[in-house]
């Protein structure tokens, strides 16, 4: 009896490990390279422009949103740690990185809002022309469209 139960639990646990792509890392994920505060000033990139974001798919925008959100969490953790340790602001120059993250997130929202407005207008036009087919939502439409 326990042999069968053990085989079932082993197969369930092995399925879980094969299907899961999430790797839990704990709190060190909120700090860069395991450091509480940045050691020296890093050269960082620029924020994404709206024209660049308009070329991205729904999935790419969603991934980028969470990458930038994670970056903002790292910066916020460093800011709190700076205050806790009493480090002068002179040694903490990540304000420009936080602004770039905010700009990128605002532009992602703008692009998604533009797509939503265009979809709503297309749906209205279809209703006016008394079409029988209903349009898919923007998410469904991008999922059904093959990517080159």
pLDDT tens readout for residues 36-87: 565 666 667 888 999 999 999 999 999 999 999 998 988 888 888 888 888 7
Domain ranges of the chain: 44-148
pLDDT at 5: 47
Q: How far apart are CA 127 and CA 119, in angstroms?
A: 12
pTM listed for this prediction: 0.63
The token pair at 84 is: 């806790």
Q: How far apart are CA 13 and CA 74, in angstroms?
A: 32
pLDDT tens readout for residues 102-124: 999 999 999 999 999 999 999 88
Q: Specify whether the backbone of 98 is left (phi greater than 0), alpha (psi in -120 to 50) or beta.
A: alpha
Task: Please determine, for residue 146, whether its predicted confidence score (pLDDT) is greater than 70.
Answer: no
Of the chain, the end-to-end C-alpha distance in Å amounts to: 53
pLDDT tens readout for residues 1-40: 445 545 544 444 444 444 445 555 565 665 665 565 656 6
Place of tokens 């602001």: 89
pLDDT at 103: 95
Q: By CB neighbour count within 10 A (0-12 exposed, 13-18 middle, 19+ buried), where does 75 fall?
A: buried
pLDDT at 130: 72
pLDDT at 59: 93
Q: What single-letter DSSP state applies at residue 137?
A: P
């Amino acid at each position: 009896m326990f042999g069968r139960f053990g085989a079932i639990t082993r197969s369930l646990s092995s399925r879980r490990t094969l299907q899961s792509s999430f790797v839990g890392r704990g709190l060190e994920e909120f700090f860069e390279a395991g450091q509480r505060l940045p050691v020296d000033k890093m050269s960082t990139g620029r924020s994404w422009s709206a024209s660049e974001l308009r070329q991205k798919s729904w999935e790419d925008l969603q991934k980028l949103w969470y990458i930038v959100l994670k970056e903002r969490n790292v910066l916020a953790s460093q800011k709190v740690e700076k205050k806790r340790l009493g480090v002068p602001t002179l040694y903490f120059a990540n304000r420009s990185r936080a602004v770039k993250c905010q700009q990128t997130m605002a532009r992602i929202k703008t692009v998604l809002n533009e797509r939503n407005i265009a979809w709503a207008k297309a749906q209205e036009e279809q209703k006016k022309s008394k079409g029988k087919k209903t349009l898919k939502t923007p998410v469904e439409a991008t999922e059904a469209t093959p990517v080159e």
